[in-house]
């Protein structure tokens, strides 16, 4: 019995040595599978067209808000109506890329206009935008837009937003459909001195380090929710790596 007991103990010790790493690997595989399963269930696809061919937007870097995913209503976005108020409507269909960008989709899109009299190049900007840069506008509470992102470095990221806001408002952010910050205050860019009414939607500002989120590496989805007030324009969001885990 003594010899048998020692033999069994040796076998168990070997199992600990050889199978413990396998258990750890199984945990890693399961974590990876959970993320892949989420993306496998998601019906949207990264935006590409004849101009933008890069696919998932790379993080760290700049996320252009107009490059939300393909897939349509309740997949890649939710909008309160089916009309694109900018492309093909405010900006009349003339065959140009800026005027007809995604004009058949419900998300409202326009672009920054530098002209005289000034619109997006007005002296009332807090931060000057890029000319002829596409952005999402006419936002309303309850709307959202989703992006497939490709995170190259794991870590904690500071996010900064280029935007306008006719009034104080709020947005929320989600990763893989899980809210990571449900209520971010977006300060108004209203300027009382500007007597041209419609231009209150065109005073640009850059909200630096509006929030911080943790990201794993690899493909995942990132969703911007308009939470309160609306009346905002979203141009781009910068993701700056602040700490490598």
Q: How far apart are CA 185 and CA 232, in angstroms?
A: 12
The single residue listed with the structure tokens 């003594």 is 2
Residue stretches of the chain with pLDDT short of 50: 1, 3-34, 245
Q: How far apart are CA 59 and CA 217, in angstroms?
A: 9
Both tokens assigned to 158: 């500071």
Burial of 147 (0-12, 13-18, 19+ CB in 10 A): buried
C-alpha to C-alpha distances, 62 to 136, 236, 240, nearest whole angstrom = 15, 7, 9
pTM: 0.85
pLDDT in tens, 190-219: 999 999 999 999 999 999 999 999 999 999
pLDDT, residue 229, reads 95
pLDDT, residue 230, reads 87
pLDDT in tens, 8-20: 444 344 444 333 4
CA atoms within 13 A on the CB side of 38: 15
pLDDT, residue 244, reads 56
């Amino acid at each position: 019995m003594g010899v048998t007991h020692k033999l069994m103990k040796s076998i168990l010790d070997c199992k600990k040595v050889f199978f413990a790493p396998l258990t750890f690997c199984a945990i890693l595989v399961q974590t990876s599978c959970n993320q892949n399963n989420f993306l496998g269930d998601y019906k949207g696809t990264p935006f590409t067209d004849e101009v933008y061919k890069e696919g998932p937007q790379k993080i760290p870097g700049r996320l252009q808000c107009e490059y939300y995913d393909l897939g349509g209503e309740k997949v890649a976005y939710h909008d309160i109506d089916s009309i694109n108020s900018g492309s093909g409507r405010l900006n009349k269909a003339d065959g140009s890329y800026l005027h007809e960008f995604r004009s058949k989709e419900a998300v409202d899109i326009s672009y920054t206009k530098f002209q005289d009299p000034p619109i997006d190049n007005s002296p009332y900007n807090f931060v000057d935008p890029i000319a002829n840069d596409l952005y999402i506008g006419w936002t309303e509470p309850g709307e959202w837009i989703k992006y497939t992102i490709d995170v190259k470095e794991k870590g904690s990221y500071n996010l900064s937003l280029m935007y306008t806001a006719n009034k104080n408002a709020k947005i929320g952010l989600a990763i893989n459909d899980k809210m990571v910050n449900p209520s971010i205050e977006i300060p108004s860019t209203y300027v009382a001195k500007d007597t041209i009414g419609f231009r209150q939607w065109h005073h640009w500002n850059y909200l630096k380090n509006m929030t911080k989120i943790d990201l794993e590496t690899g493909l995942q989805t990132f969703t911007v929710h308009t939470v309160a007030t609306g009346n905002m324009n979203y141009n781009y969001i910068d993701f700056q790596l602040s700490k490598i885990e």
